[in-house]
Amino acid sequence: MTSLQLKEQISTQFLFAETNKNGNHATGLEDVRKKFFDDFKQHGFPHRKDEEWKYVNLESVLKHPYQLPITAENYIKKSDNRLNDLLSNFQDCLVFINGRFSPDFSIGSVYTPFLKIFPKKTEVENKYFLNHFTNIISANDSFISINTALAEKFYFIDIPPGFSNPSPLFIIHVTDSESGAIMNNSRFLIHAGKNAVVQVVEYFIQEGTNPGLSNRVAEIHCEEDSILHHNLIQDSSIQNNTDTNLIINSGIRIERNASLSSVALILSGSFTRNNLKTCLSGERANANLYGLYLLSGEQFADNHTLVDHAVPLCTSDELYKGVLNDSSKGVFNGKIVVRKDAQKTVAYQSNKNLLLSQDATIYTKPQLEIFADDVKCSHGATSGQLDEDALFYLRSRGINKTESINLLVTAFAREIINKIQFVPLRELIEKRLEIV
């Protein structure tokens, strides 16, 4: 299947879904869906002539005859599957199977009351959601447009003002491709109320032997004086040569005196595209953005970040690290924009990479666009091999080569892993660090 054929198939699926709503339209939301669908029809999928996609071979992702999920009820929770492993380790988990909320598999009661599912039956009920929806993310990306047009439900996680809990909310995304190649579109709005302190972990896995494409979009809003720790973990292990593909779009707005800490980990998966756009829109807002990608085989990961300093007196610190082995390929494209009136900005960005193979490739492009004069900003990128002296030292102490390499990789990665606030999750991730 070509990207053009898939475009036509998606158009057919959208029109079929619209026709079969039997007039039960949620006024307002359907207008938004149609707007984004028209945008996708006009622009289609991106290609390598687009600067933002120049290193991406999307045809390898789009070649499969993806179908939209018909039902989530066929998913069986086996004793040895990935979901069961996660549920046995954590509490307060909201489970989404092929983009649909599954109350049967979800556990815990702390965060469930904060989950609101749209569309509702009337325009009045949808108005509250529409006041927030698409305010942070707009129709400037084909996969955002597809997601908005095809997402069956929109999930609003509304954390109330003053809420605080040391235990995180786990959002577990399961792509179930057992019955055939599947494309799911999950859409979230995460709202941290004033003075709230909360941790949110999004964990992506795939079950099944057929190709899967998970297209997830989230708008995240941090109100004044709130603190949000947000973790993204791509752990869709490749089994039986199955294509596991993940495209993530996150739009974040941080208000006055609010703070966001984001940790994005790519531990597995055939193809991962992580788009992260962060706007510091209130004075003294703070953003800390961390990322780690561990790639081997023919895996591909592309991290695109944008930090927009829109007002004065804000700070941001960004550090992304990569470890690439075999014939894997990685991309880091990070941009900091400091607007004209955003004086007293402090913004740092760094990308560091370890190449464990001569066939591994990294493309890195750190960028600064500064339109103010009273700022402190820096950016940089490095790529290199393991320290041969350190490797020789470990080997001389009787440690074999594979274990020595993994020790050095773990030490390199731990700077990012340690940014995870929840210790049990951090310990789980450390067990997944072996790359050789």
Residue 84 backbone zone (phi > 0: left; psi -120 to 50: alpha; other: beta): alpha
Listed residues 282, 297, 319: the one ending a domain = 282
What is the end-to-end Cα distance of the chain in Å, rounded?
Answer: 34
Please report whether residue 344 resides in a domain: no
User: According to the model, what pLDDT value does residue 13 have?
Assistant: 76
* Higher-confidence position of 256 and 78: 256
Average pLDDT estimate for 75-102: 83
Cβ atoms of 42 and 157 closer than 8 Å: no
Please report whether residue 348 resides in a domain: no
Residues 393, 278 share a domain: no
Q: For every residue of 375-402, which 3-state class applies, written as one string?
A: EEEEEEEEEECCCHHHHHHHHHCCCCHH
Please report whether residue 63 resides in a domain: yes
Residues 265, 394 share a domain: no
Residues 230, 103 share a domain: yes
Q: What tens digit of pLDDT does each residue of 114-171 get?
A: 999 988 877 777 877 777 787 788 768 899 999 999 998 999 999 999 999 999 999 9
Please report whether residue 370 resides in a domain: no
User: According to the model, what pLDDT value does residue 23 have?
Assistant: 47
Listed residues 282, 312, 347: the one ending a domain = 282
Please report whether residue 406 resides in a domain: yes
Largest CA distance in the chain: 74
pLDDT at 370 > cutoff 50: yes
Please report whether residue 188 resides in a domain: yes
Q: Which of 297, 324, 351 shows the shortest CA–CA distance to 409?
A: 324
What is the number of alpha carbons within 13 Å of residue 26 lying toward its C-beta?
Answer: 18
Average pLDDT estimate for 352-381: 96
- Which residues lie across from 170 on neighbouring strands? 93, 201
Cβ atoms of 251 and 136 closer than 8 Å: yes
**Mean pLDDT score of the chain, rounded to an integer?**
90
* Higher-confidence position of 293 and 70: 293
Q: What tens digit of pLDDT does each residue of 251-307 get?
A: 999 999 999 999 999 999 999 999 999 999 999 999 999 999 999 999 999 999 999
Q: What tens digit of pLDDT does each residue of 158-205 get?
A: 999 999 999 999 999 999 988 899 999 999 999 999 999 999 999 999
Please report whether residue 335 resides in a domain: no
Please report whether residue 322 resides in a domain: no
Listed residues 238, 267, 282: the one ending a domain = 282
User: According to the model, what pLDDT value does residue 241 have?
Assistant: 59
User: According to the model, what pLDDT value does residue 395 have?
Assistant: 85
> What are the distances in angstroms from CA 139 to CA 3, 10, 34, 145, 147?
19, 17, 11, 6, 10
- Domain count for the chain, please give it: 2
Give the Cα separation of 73 and 404 in Å (integer).
46
Cβ atoms of 151 and 187 closer than 8 Å: yes
Could you tell me the residue range of the domain that residue 416 belongs to?
387-435
Q: What tens digit of pLDDT does each residue of 3-49 get?
A: 777 888 788 877 776 666 654 556 678 888 888 999 998 888 998 88
